[in-house]
Amino acid sequence: MNNVHCKKDSSLTKEEKEVFAGHLKQEGLSNNIWDLFEEWVDKSTSKVYFFYLKVNQDDELIGLGLFLKIKPVDLRTSYSILRKNAFVKKIISVISILSSNCVYISFRNLITSNLTRPFFYREPEMEDIIMKAILSFLKEEKEADMITIVDTSTNDIHYQKAGFDMYPSSSEAYLDATKYTDISEYLNEHRSLKKNLKRKNSIAKTEILQGPVSKSDQTQIKECLDRSIKESRVNTPSQQFFEDNIFETEVYNSDKYKHIFIRIDDRIVGFHTFQISGANMGGVLGGFSRNYSRKIFPYERVIVASLEYAIENKIKNVRYSLVDNYTKLRLVNSLEPCGLYFYSRNPVNRRVFKYTYKFNDVYELYLLEKQGLLKGNAKSVRLGNT
């Protein structure tokens, strides 16, 4: 296919969205899949810049990628070992500023509503040519010192052909709601969970509501989120930007999102916010007070409530992003293998990334999943380009 080229853009028109209507239908998604990314584009800064990477054949739009640019990238954000040591943390902070590296990251790298791959096609048979065009463009982009993409591992071949280095990642975790006609069937598969939730049922209350969320509830959500981030195994290069802006978006100030709250005495001790798009439900953000994790099981309650809602409302899948804890691994019923794909023109960057990757957050999540599966938490693995 001749005359295929890419360009960066900061907007996507209604007509351009319609180009991918068939893609969304095939993936069981609706047009609101663009909502959150559009908001991030509008909030872009000189340091954190969201953009569309459009693929055109002549003057016709045929493909699309969702990316963000971070400059300078804080090298500490992807390595928990660097975040925990105060002395090393300070040194790396100075190095990050001095090196002023620019990194391009796929939108799926973020712990957000992962309902789709970071790429869209006008027609499915155009995937090969579109992926080739996008990856070639990224490799030739002079301002990008490094490129990282999290994607479904069934697409390894695209990255191999493009010369990207491939690294292991934990899987995308999701609940296949079509397996059940009632939540009791799921609970019967998890007897200890069923027993624990029943035993503490009089203490905790589960609430599912449509936004907007009151300011008092937003304050409590923020407290849960701050606690979870502090104790999280994973961070992202845009973590601070995400935290600073999420409560200014329509996620908590509109009726576009669904919220599950776990309350004790009317106080939120755990929550998860979802975007429902077509036949899919994707986690946008969650947070939990660890003080209650072994008392009333707020995380487990959210998972059960989200699945029950999906069953009752004919939603096929509930997506929980990458496996990042044993509880998630144990309670989801499906895993979609993923990989992390890296490229840099600079041989020093490639070498450094190669030898430090085993200290990277994503690699630690990969090990966590692997260890969990070896301990007997194996799940049925379903592959798919979602």
Q: Domains in the chain and their CATH numbers?
A: 4-171+336-377 (3.40.630.30), 173-335 (3.40.630.30)
Lowest mean pLDDT among 63-72, 75-84, 115-124, 221-230: 75-84
Phi-psi region of 362 (alpha: psi -120 to 50; beta: other; left: phi over 0): alpha
CB 340 within 8 A of CB 192: no
Mean pLDDT, range 357-377, rounded to an integer: 85
Q: Residue 112 in 3-state DSSP?
A: coil
Give the model's pLDDT for residue 296. 85
Which is nearest to 213 in space by CA: 257, 264, 161? 257
Distance, CA of 146 to CA of 141 (rounded, Å): 10
Distance, CA of 43 to CA of 319 (rounded, Å): 25
Indicate the pLDDT class of residue 73, thresholds 50, 70 and 90. low
Indicate the pLDDT class of residue 86, thresholds 50, 70 and 90. low
Give the model's pLDDT for residue 334. 95
CB 152 within 8 A of CB 386: yes
Give the model's pLDDT for residue 276. 95
Which is nearest to 233 in space by CA: 107, 369, 334? 369
Residue 110 CB-density burial (10 A; 0-12 exposed, 13-18 middle, 19+ buried): buried
Give the model's pLDDT for residue 204. 87
Beta-ladder partners of 271? 261, 287
Give the model's pLDDT for residue 228. 78
Indicate the pLDDT class of residue 380, thresholds 50, 70 and 90. very low
Instruction: Give pLDDT tens digits for 43-59.
Output: 999 899 999 999 999 99
Those residues whose C-beta lies under 8 Å from the C-beta of residue 152, and which sit 6 or more positions away, are 117, 172, 336, 337, 338, 339, 383, 384, 385, 386
The dihedral through the CA atoms of 141, 145, 150, 154 has a sign that is positive
Indicate the pLDDT class of residue 197, thresholds 50, 70 and 90. confident
Model confidence, pTM: 0.89
Give the model's pLDDT for residue 227. 81
Which is nearest to 116 in space by CA: 8, 28, 240? 28
Helix segments in the chain, DSSP class H: 14-18, 21-26, 35-42, 80-84, 86-99, 127-140, 156-162, 183-189, 191-199, 215-231, 239-245, 298-312, 326-331, 347-356, 361-372
Distance, CA of 136 to CA of 146 (rounded, Å): 14
pLDDT > 70? residue 338: yes
Instruction: Give pLDDT tens digits for 261-306.
Output: 999 988 999 999 999 999 999 999 899 887 765 678 999 999 999 9
pLDDT > 60? residue 95: no
Distance, CA of 182 to CA of 330 (rounded, Å): 19
